[in-house]
Structure 1
């Protein structure tokens, strides 16, 4: 049986709507996801979903209830007015879910320069690090790329866009439920990674070696900096392997998400990832 809420002024709806803002997410330690795909991915990969709110007019999308049948989830049928109040998109998609925030532990990444994700057959760890990447779309796209190449984790340094920003979540296309994502002080974490043998790789226009010449088969942490300023001086000083992405056309630079994609897939190529797929 589903609870029904018809009024957008319902106290619970007002509380959920606060999750559209970072202040509300931080206070409640919860966040919202919107749309059938994200809700299904959250349920499929056992994210801590507490409540699913769906359109009484449209009903639940196929397969959603089955995915969360044994998870003790609250099901709430709602009016279109309620869903509009909880939606971040211009056209509400008929379903949202409330998810508890969980924090992966940064210490777990340096037990051997990062534990493997279980799919790499004992390969060296690959960790993606963001240093004050501020655009939520870029952050979400990089997380999606990290998932695509089988990275072991993504680390969000200080100043990086909020993982639970609705735009970040949409840009991940569900990948935030597929791999550990850690928020950490890079000034503390990167030296620990170096201490256990990880190579800290970052792009630099002054680098003497291209990303295609670097050995990315070893335990590797790929660091990407702010859209306008690049890596901070403190983080850049911790890079052990500066590389440059060679460009043969007339473009002066690449967007940070594009640069991250190039390096992540070069690491995947060197590591011999055999399974193919399409984007």
Structure 2
């Protein structure tokens, strides 16, 4: 069992870069997960792990380490190192260095003929992406497609905001054109949430293969989604403002789709 106690250790410095810089994560194909729940979800999603680091005083070795096979490196670290590496103010005492997955559209597989998909275009704030992933998990959608992402999905704030739901749902990343072409080729209806040329969301039928697309809170979906959608939809607003948080909007439409599907059974 290897031990590291100095924050000046070269390997620890590499991990700090991995935590802080998207470029490093992409270059090395690795990212960091902290927390027992998040690590357990990644294990269940068949992620491959490189190294697990833990603080012996904070976590019993059997609590999480039994989840990893013997090929995963195990390093005992000091509290000082853990506090330096940890992104959030928790004291769970365990961090995993994990191998990134390929988020290409070609890896998406559906178990039913009428999948329900969430599409998010150009979302900038990692916290909003995390919230969308939580919504997708709650609705048990078949996949989440991220169009033109502004953050890599292994950003520590996305992992934190999603409470690990980045690992619980199939995800694909592509350009808006690539995602729309994929939906068209697979006969999946596209419903774009927008005020322009739209019907009220609850008047549409989502019982067939469907994708619900949401855009940024500032500018919404781009023209390519609005113009090539099967149908544009809106959520009638009854107050003074004309928009809401993107994850809330996604939840409203997704759960209407789920309601229709349950009713159809």
Query: If the length of structure 2 is used for normalisation, what is the TM-score?
Result: 0.91
How big is each residue's C-alpha offset from its partner over 1:106-138, in whole Å with a ceiling of 9 and x where there is no partner? 0344xxxxx43x4xxx45111111110111111
Q: Does 1:101 align with 2:110?
A: no
Q: Does 1:174 align with 2:164?
A: yes
Q: How does 1:243-258 map to 2 (within 5 A)?
A: 243-258=233-248
Give the equivalent residue in structure 2 for 1:198. Answer: 188
Give the equivalent residue in structure 2 for 1:277. Answer: none
Aligned residue pairs total: 263
Alignment partner of 2:137 out of 147, 162, 168:
147
Alignment partner of 1:213 out of 180, 194, 203:
203
Query: If the length of structure 1 is used for normalisation, what is the TM-score?
Result: 0.87
Distance 1:255 1:53 in 2: 36
Give the equivalent residue in structure 2 for 1:263. Answer: 253
Indicate the SS of the match to 2:199.
Answer: coil
Query: Is the CA contact (8 Å cut-off) linking 2:198 and 2:231 kept in structure 1?
Result: no
Indicate the SS of the match to 1:12.
Answer: helix
Indicate the SS of the match to 2:16.
Answer: helix
Give the equivalent residue in structure 2 for 1:11. Answer: 10
User: Could you say if the C-alpha distance between residues 257 and 76 of structure 1 is closer, same or farther in structure 2, counting changes exceeding 3 Å?
Assistant: same
Give the equivalent residue in structure 1 for 2:25. Answer: 25
Give the equivalent residue in structure 1 for 2:43. Answer: 43
Distance 2:197 2:258 in 1: 21
Q: How does 1:33-182 map to 2 (within 5 A)?
A: 33-60=33-60, 63-68=63-68, 70=69, 72-109=71-108, 115-116=109-110, 118=111, 122=112, 124-182=114-172
Query: Is the CA contact (8 Å cut-off) linking 1:36 and 1:61 kept in structure 2?
Result: no
Give the equivalent residue in structure 1 for 2:174. Answer: 184
Distance 1:175 1:184 in 2: 19
Distance 1:49 1:92 in 2: 21
